[in-house]
A and B are shown apart, each in its own frame.
With several copies, the nearest count.
Chain A
Amino acid sequence: METMLEARELAKSYGTGAGALKILDGISFSVKKGEFVSIVGPSGCGKTTLLMALAGLLKPDAGAVSFKGKVLTGPSAGIAVVFQDYSRSLFAWKSNLENVVFGMIRNTTLSKAEKRAKGRELLAAVGLDGFADHYPWQLSGGMQQRVAIARGLASESELLLLDEPLAAVDAQTRADMQDLLLELAERFQQTCILVTHDVDEAVYMADRVVVLTRRPTRVDHDIVVDLGDRRDQITTREDPRFLEIRHDVMAAIRRFRAETPLAEKA
């Protein structure tokens, strides 16, 4: 299968001089077309930073990202991002429907009315049909997060980057949303990269799980999830192979965790 995205030796520091904080310290991995990759790693290790670099929204200090064979120099068509900071990434001056429709701004094939119809469908799919004409700030955190996901899905991009998109929704909605994401990714042959703190989710959703170390961050493990393409909330999660992989990921996280417990040094 062709390579969709490739990160080569990405490095990034914040600040300069003595106060500089090295975040990414040479991160390399690649994602094939149609693949679903989960990224897990400790809080503050640089997952968001990495995702921004993959989306072409942040220039790495060193290394490069190529998307469909071409080196990224800035944001590119075909990549959509669902941001971690959902409450600020939604526009307060647009209704929820308008926010979602805004995600289709690069779509020239649909008419305005079609876009609105599709926006409503997407809002319904994330469970918010009644809230199309409300504003984001009239929603609960979890509802806002779902609007942000709907906007990300609206663009039908080849590559979807999701930064902890389900952190604020309840367990049941979360499961539903997971299946929705999988289904749509399948239907539109999307490639997805998902940052999550939920190891179960990481394994359940992905074809591969990339485990990052703590700061300065490198790729610690790159674990293949050989659970087949069809996932099911009950059977997959009970699958012994699922539990095994889950255990492996947990173990990987625990290992470098044990080396330096909670207290970190800047």
Chain B
Amino acid sequence: MALERWILRFRSLVSLALILAVWQGVAMLELVPRKYFPPIPDIAAGFWSMLLSGELLAGDSLTLGRALVGIVGSSLIGIGLALLGEMVPAFRSAFRPIAAIVQPIPPAALVPMAIFMLGLGFKLYAFVIILVTIWPPYLNGAAALAAVGDVEVKTGRMLGLSERDILFRIKLPAAWPEIFAGIRYAATISLIAVVVAEMLAGRDGLGFMLIRKAFATRIPEVYALMFVCAFNGVVLNALINLLRWRITGWHMRMTERTP
């Protein structure tokens, strides 16, 4: 029991240790030359040098900040679209094919056109990130809103709520747990999208650093940056879990009560 709690408290570190161990194991097998797949100590050294020079913290805070803005923006848009679709069924059936069409478009393929429309700055980032990030909250939200039980909805009608109130006070709370599953996935792809956007047209951030380090064939540092990307996922998800606990704590307690 105590061990279990201890493990759970430090599960991020446990996970990290696990990944590092697997990496180190593969590196020690020397399936590929050490130079291209360096062992953890080499990567740690690269990490350390970037940390000392200050570039890592500067770059990562930019990337994390952008990802956070991206996730907030696209969650709001995604959930907004799902709500709109629930309110106006004609919109939902019109938007469904649009979503299917836009979803698989690789943002990189749109960049020249996007640069033309949006320039090289913030708007380009926002476009790339939002284009790939709104779908998980939207799709999970739309599905969950459509599946809210009819007793709950009838209860709302009985209380004289307007359709709008039913949407916001009954369907939305009931759908939050599923929406958060979408937000969680959106967080990971938001991080990816930010890094890719920084690679495509950036002057700073992790993606830019990745390109630079790859250009300079500083392989351990490239991998160190990748581990930083990975750890960003944990950081962002920890933040989201805080919010999630606030909004859907009831659901987590209800479903985690092991009978």
Contacts and interface: CB of A to CB of B under 8 A. Distances in A.
A and B in direct contact, judged by CB atoms within 8 A: yes
Interface of A: 52, 55, 57-58, 74-77, 79-81, 83, 85, 88-89, 91-93, 102-103, 105-106, 135, 137, 155
B251 to A, nearest CB: 7
B173 A91 contact: yes
Interface in B108-137: none
Contacts of A102: 159, 169
Contact of A79 (B152, B158, B170, B174): B158
A23 B34 CA distance: 62
A57 B154 contact: yes
B158 A75 contact: yes
Contacts of B161: 105
A48 to B, nearest CB: 10
Contacts of B169: 102
7 contacts: A52-B259, A93-B250, A93-B251, A105-B159, A135-B250, A135-B253, A135-B254
Nearest to B174: A93
Contact of A88 (B152, B158, B251, B253): B152
A52 B150 CA distance: 12
A67 to B, nearest CB: 13
A250 B154 CA distance: 33
Interface of B: 149, 151-152, 154-155, 157-161, 165, 169-170, 173-174, 176, 248, 250-251, 253-254, 259
A79 B158 CA distance: 7
Contact of B151 (A75, A89, A93): A89
B146 to A, nearest CB: 15
A2 B67 CA distance: 65
Contacts of B165: 105
Given A58-B259, A92-B251, A92-B254, A80 B152 contact: no
B151 A106 contact: no
B174 A83 contact: no
A120 to B, nearest CB: 19
Contacts of A80: 158-159
A131 B154 CA distance: 25
B152 A106 contact: no
Nearest to A104: B159
Interface centre among B165, B248, B254 (most CB of A within 10 A): B254
B259 A57 contact: yes
A57 B157 contact: yes
Given A55-B158, A57-B158, 15 more contacts: A52-B154, A57-B154, A75-B157, A75-B158, A81-B154, A83-B154, A88-B149, A89-B154, A89-B155, A91-B155, A91-B173, A93-B173, A103-B159, A105-B165, A106-B159
A258 B149 CA distance: 37
Contacts of B254: 92, 135, 137
Contacts of A81: 154-155, 158
Contacts of A83: 151, 154-155
Contacts of B151: 83, 85, 88-89
Of the candidates B149, B152, B158, B174, the one having the most CB atoms from chain A within 10 angstroms of its own CB is B158
B250 A92 contact: yes
Nearest to B257: A137
Contacts of B251: 92-93
B77 to A, nearest CB: 24
B151 to A, nearest CB: 4
Contacts of A91: 152, 155, 170, 173-174
B160 A75 contact: yes
A102 B159 CA distance: 8
Contacts of A88: 149, 151-152
Nearest to A102: B159
B166 to A, nearest CB: 11
A77 to B, nearest CB: 5
